[in-house]
Structure 1
Amino acid sequence: MIYLDHNATTPVDPRVVEVMLPLFTDQFANPASKHGPGREVTRIVERARREVATLAGARARDVVFTSGATEAANLAIGGALAAAGPDRPRVLVGATEHPAVLGAADAAAAAAAGPGTRAERIAVHPDGTIDVDDLRRLLGPDVALVAVMAANNETGAVNDLRPLVEPVHSAGALLFSDVTQALGRIPVSLERTGVDVAVASAHKLYGPKGVGALVASGDAWARIAPRAHGGGQERGRRAGTLNTAGIAGFGAAARIAAASMTDDGRRQRTLVAQLTELLVGQLGRGAVELNGPVRARLPNTVNLRFVGAGADDVQACLPQVAVSAGSACSGGGDVPSHVLLAMGRTAAEARESLRFSLGRATTPEEIRTAADQVARAVQRVRSLTQSTPIQDEVRDDNRARTARPAGTPA
């Protein structure tokens, strides 16, 4: 299997596993315990906190560990609305945000259920970057929080967050950013940029699933009401016994990413260009269209529309290549990507689009093989008659090939 879906999740780096293993057996104490073993685990947690903070360009004391970016987004957005009260009932959210952020904003607004409480979408340009003019139009003194992601999970579009800081802060709102896809792939500095609140997950940067972080400046924490209550862990900001093995793994993954990010990015950008060139060369320039920015994009990501070939059907013809037709967290079903629709694509065009997201271990040989297989799959889908249930035919054919005795002609 050639795995080109690293924006959905990454394999855990063996060096990360090595750091995590002792926390399951030898160093298993609860960090809330005051005895020697508990204090030793606390030191491990605090080292991981520093490592994550360093990668995010933040202060260690501003990092709170969660079960992932989804929980962190719910804590931050719900907490900000709750703390703001009736004077600031609105939340502004980029139209191409991850479903976790869109869902958290909609749920927080519904839960508040006060007069004027609502989550509103900020428009994006056709390349997927945020429309700053539309943000300025929507801003007002009744806005509690503005959410704009650092990099999009489907197209890789990178937003320049610096022009947003002044208008958002002038309106008295918090600037929130989902840095999940950006962290470890491009430089991130929350303090220098002026972002108030950010969220991330370890499993996007070769760490374990089930652990993430909510990072907020000291001033911002005072404007986020706690949503998880209990034993007062994480200085009362997020109660619950810490996932110490996961946290240690997150820290190790952050440290490794900081050291390898520049080289990884340079190599992946070259491979993405190679993949695109090979597909255009085999299918024709007019048959392959780019979704997203040409340059302001994550180095490992490209989203392409294959004109006249449904993405689901192409995937069904690719048993040995793992790619994505959208966010892994979008809920499935025959629903076109909300990201591509917000960028101006029609539903039909969105359904012809695939995301390719490369990883640290992706090789040039894999790219060449994947390009050949994707091109053949696209050509096959185009050649099948519209009256044929394409995916059923493809799956039947794949099963027949699998069942055929070795050496039997196809």
Structure 2
Amino acid sequence: MIYLDYNASTPVDPRVASLVQEASRAYANPSSTQHGAGQQAAELVEHARQRLATAVHRTPREIVFTAGASEAAAIGIIGAMLGDPYRRNAVIAATEHKAIIQAAEAGARLGGGEVRVASVGHSGLLDLSHLNELVDDSVSVVAVMAANNETGVMGPVAQASVIARNRGALFFSDVTQLLGKGDIVDVSTHADLMVCSSHKLYGPKGAGALIASRHTQKALFPVFGGGGQEFGLRGGTSNVPALAGFGLAAELATHSLPATMRRLTALRDQLWDGLRDLGAVEINGADAPRVCNTLNVRIVGADAEAVMASLPDVAVSSGSACQSAVPTPSHVLLAMGRSTTAAGESLRLSVGTPTTDADIRASIAKLFAAALRVRELTGDLERRLDDA
């Protein structure tokens, strides 16, 4: 199997897996710091907090651990929308991850507010003029993701954050697809709230984080307060092994970032160069800055689901893994002005650190054959319908 779906999930780095196994022996509750066993577990969690804080250029006190980025988004966005009785509205980009969209919709229902959607251009870049029109004094939070999970298009976070802050709104950015694949200093400098996930950067599943200053944390309504863990914002016993692995994964990804970016960019571009020979192919988001590992390609005349069915030994996707079970066109591509047909002919290909040059060459050949086969079958069907 050739794996080209790293935006959906990544394999656990062997060094991380080793630490997770070791941390599993720390069976005590990290909140039970009255005894040595609890203190040992707590130390693992705090070490992970320090590692992640360093990776995202923040302090440990700004790291709120969660079970994943989706949960972190709910805590941050709903918490912001319920935290100020005079600001119950949210503004989000049209191409945000479904978790952000649903969190904003839930916050609006709970608080009696509304969700306003800022449009994007054909390239997937946010329309800053439209965003500026939508943000007013009734808005509590503005959400613009750092890198899109389907197209890799990178958002204008610095400009968007200025618009939010000029109106007194919090600025939220999902850095899940950027952390470990791009420099997040600019995002970290401008965002009031960020979220990320362990399993997108070679860490274990079941760990994520909301990143916010102490001042911002205090402005959030505690949606998942529980027993007071994670500074009162996310109750429940910490998943010590997963968090320990998350911290190390973030550290490793940050240390190797420049080399990783160069290598993944070269592999992504090699993949595109090979697919161009198919003819009638295009990159969704070609005219926008994109994260180094992501290629979203439309193969004209070849339905994406049919192409994937003809690729049993190459793992790719037709959109976000979080909505892969729902047979509907990508909301991201539709927001970019693609037709339903064009969206249905688009594949997301994402490379990762284990990807090799041989993987790319083999994938090109297999994708080439599958696309040509689907085009041939589609042509035969259309001819039969015309004859009928």
Flag whether TM exceeds 0.5 (same fold): yes
For the Cα contact (< 8 Å) 2:142–2:171, is it kept in 1? Answer: yes
For the Cα contact (< 8 Å) 1:57–1:190, is it kept in 2? Answer: no
For the Cα contact (< 8 Å) 2:173–2:187, is it kept in 1? Answer: no
**Which letter does structure 2 place at the counterpart of 1:109?**
A
Distance 1:234 1:190, change over 3 A: farther
Deviation, 1:261, is 1.5
**Which letter does structure 2 place at the counterpart of 1:38?**
G
**Which letter does structure 1 place at the counterpart of 2:350?**
S
**What aligned pairs does 1:304-323 form with structure 2 within 5 A after superposition?**
304-323=297-316
Q: Which of 332, 348, 359 is the equivalent residue of 1:366?
A: 359
User: Paired residue for 2:44?
Assistant: 44
User: Paired residue for 1:404?
Assistant: none
Deviation, 1:334, is 2.4
Q: Which of 173, 176, 186 is the equivalent residue of 2:182?
A: 186
Q: Does 1:376 align with 2:372?
A: no
Q: Which of 120, 123, 127 is the equivalent residue of 1:124?
A: 120
Root-mean-square deviation (Å): 1.5
**Which letter does structure 1 place at the counterpart of 2:55?**
L
For the Cα contact (< 8 Å) 1:183–1:200, is it kept in 2? Answer: yes
1:366-395: CA deviations, max 9, x gaps? 100000110111100010146759xxxxxx
For the Cα contact (< 8 Å) 1:55–1:254, is it kept in 2? Answer: yes
User: Paired residue for 1:16?
Assistant: 16
User: Paired residue for 1:230?
Assistant: 226
User: Paired residue for 2:237?
Assistant: 241
CA distance in structure 2 between the aligned counterparts of 1:272 and 1:229, rounded to whole angstroms: 42
CA distance in structure 2 between the aligned counterparts of 1:96 and 1:7, rounded to whole angstroms: 16
**Which letter does structure 1 place at the counterpart of 2:66?**
T
Aligned length: 381
User: Paired residue for 1:107?
Assistant: 106
User: Paired residue for 2:386?
Assistant: none
**Which letter does structure 1 place at the counterpart of 2:333?**
L
1:99-124: CA deviations, max 9, x gaps? 11111111211122x2xx11111111
1:211-243: CA deviations, max 9, x gaps? 100111122112111111322111212111000
1:79-104: CA deviations, max 9, x gaps? 1111112x112100110001111111
Distance 1:43 1:331, change over 3 A: same
Q: Does 1:276 align with 2:272?
A: yes
TM-score scaled by length of structure 2 = 0.95
CA distance in structure 1 between the aligned counterparts of 2:9 and 2:357, rounded to whole angstroms: 21
Q: Does 1:32 align with 2:25?
A: no
What SS does the aligned partner of 1:227 have? Answer: coil
For the Cα contact (< 8 Å) 1:58–1:191, is it kept in 2? Answer: no
CA distance in structure 1 between the aligned counterparts of 2:285 and 2:131, rounded to whole angstroms: 20
**Which letter does structure 2 place at the counterpart of 1:40?**
Q
Q: Which of 146, 150, 160 is the equivalent residue of 1:164?
A: 160
Q: Which of 260, 271, 284 is the equivalent residue of 1:264?
A: 260
For the Cα contact (< 8 Å) 2:75–2:233, is it kept in 1? Answer: no
What SS does the aligned partner of 2:171 have? Answer: strand
Q: Which of 328, 331, 334 is the equivalent residue of 1:335?
A: 328
Deviation, 1:177, is 0.6
For the Cα contact (< 8 Å) 1:5–1:324, is it kept in 2? Answer: yes
CA distance in structure 2 between the aligned counterparts of 1:331 and 1:364, rounded to whole angstroms: 28
What SS does the aligned partner of 1:222 have? Answer: helix
**Which letter does structure 2 place at the counterpart of 1:98?**
H
Moved more, 353-362 or 259-268: 259-268
Q: Which of 119, 133, 150 is the equivalent residue of 1:137?
A: 133
TM-score scaled by length of structure 1 = 0.90
CA distance in structure 1 between the aligned counterparts of 2:53 and 2:186, rounded to whole angstroms: 9
What SS does the aligned partner of 1:329 have? Answer: helix
User: Paired residue for 1:402?
Assistant: none
5+ unaligned residues in a row in structure 1: which ranges? Answer: 390-410
1:265-297: CA deviations, max 9, x gaps? 10110111111111112x12xx11010144611
Distance 1:335 1:147, change over 3 A: same
For the Cα contact (< 8 Å) 2:158–2:187, is it kept in 1? Answer: no
CA distance in structure 1 between the aligned counterparts of 2:156 and 2:186, rounded to whole angstroms: 12
CA distance in structure 1 between the aligned counterparts of 2:364 and 2:110, rounded to whole angstroms: 47
1:164-221: CA deviations, max 9, x gaps? 2222111010000111101111011267522000111100000011110011112211
Identity rate, percent: 46
User: Paired residue for 1:79?
Assistant: 79
For the Cα contact (< 8 Å) 1:22–1:28, is it kept in 2? Answer: no
User: Paired residue for 1:350?
Assistant: 343
CA distance in structure 2 between the aligned counterparts of 1:230 and 1:356, rounded to whole angstroms: 40
CA distance in structure 2 between the aligned counterparts of 1:72 and 1:334, rounded to whole angstroms: 27
CA distance in structure 1 between the aligned counterparts of 2:274 and 2:10, rounded to whole angstroms: 25
**Which letter does structure 2 place at the counterpart of 1:163?**
Q
User: Paired residue for 2:90?
Assistant: 91
What SS does the aligned partner of 1:360 have? Answer: coil
CA distance in structure 1 between the aligned counterparts of 2:336 and 2:192, rounded to whole angstroms: 26
User: Paired residue for 1:205?
Assistant: 201
Distance 1:312 1:29, change over 3 A: same
What SS does the aligned partner of 2:323 have? Answer: coil
Distance 1:90 1:262, change over 3 A: same
CA distance in structure 1 between the aligned counterparts of 2:213 and 2:323, rounded to whole angstroms: 30
**Which letter does structure 1 place at the counterpart of 2:105?**
D
